[in-house]
Amino acid sequence: MNEISRSIDHYTDKLSTNLIYQIEFFKNFKNKKENMVMNQFRGPFTKIMKPLYELLAKIGVHPNMITILGLGFSILAGWAFASNEYMIAAIAILLSGFADVLDGGIARVGGYASSEGAFLDSVADRLGESAIYVGIVVSFSNLHQYLGLGLLVFSFSISYLRARGEGLGIELAGIGIMERAERMFALFFAALFAVWFGPVVYIYTIWVILALVTFTAIHRFVKVYDALKTQTLNETSQ
């Protein structure tokens, strides 16, 4: 009986250890998943781009100039979508994204970082993204216009949920698979697909982007709601 008991204890301990390992694995996987996609490339990309940041800062390029230039490219992309000039839209989105990377890098290495600069950058991001979605809406002449409207609404919801959540003390940086960088990256490929494969594939791509953007907005809402609910329960239990 003692031998059987020891065997049972051995396998029970082994099962418990394995279960704990599996739980920790999925926790870590979830954390990685919440901070995935473009965030994973920012560190190495920053190292590669640092010499360019330093050069531009040295010759006196101000990050606010780059921010306004990026906004101009986004507006150009919106016009291109509205005019069905998809290759121009793709190039303009690429240049806008590059400008968005440059302004932050120059601000950091050149000592230009400031609250007003961050505010200008956020406003320019929202206006530029809106211009692109308005262009997508205008490019359609039927019910597909609601695709562009949906992208506009849920993309702004993602930004609002982060601002509101962080205002309430809930950190949301990197939460969700379709932050602004990922949305611009997806729209860049949507424009290329329109050039390469035609309007049907383009419309399907926009549908996929809308689904992912909607999922991200819901993900952030649930994240904030659950965190605030936990805070409330902890406060009432004290």
Give the total residue count for the chain: 238
Q: How far apart are the first and last CA of the chain?
A: 48
Residue 125 annotated as catalytic: yes
Q: How far is CA 39 from CA 116, 227, 228, in A?
A: 24, 23, 25
Task: Print pLDDT tens along the chain (238 aa).
Answer: 445 444 444 444 443 444 333 334 334 434 444 444 555 556 666 677 788 888 888 888 899 999 999 999 999 999 999 999 999 999 999 999 999 889 888 888 888 888 898 899 999 999 999 999 999 999 887 788 888 899 999 999 998 998 898 888 888 777 788 888 899 999 999 999 999 999 899 999 999 999 999 999 999 999 999 989 888 888 787 6
pLDDT, tens only, 117-137: 889 999 999 999 999 999 999
pLDDT, tens only, 181-201: 899 999 999 999 999 999 899
Choose the catalytic residue: 100, 103, 121, 125. 125
Q: What is the DSSP letter of 238?
A: -
Place of tokens 């049972």: 8
Q: List the one residue out of 163, 185, 164, 177 whose CA is nearest residue 219.
A: 177
pTM over 0.95: no
Fold that domain 39-237 belongs to in CATH: Four Helix Bundle (Hemerythrin (Met), subunit A) (1.20.120)
The Cα 201–Cα 184 span in angstroms is 18
Q: How far is CA 72 from CA 69, 123, 154, 223, in A?
A: 5, 13, 23, 34
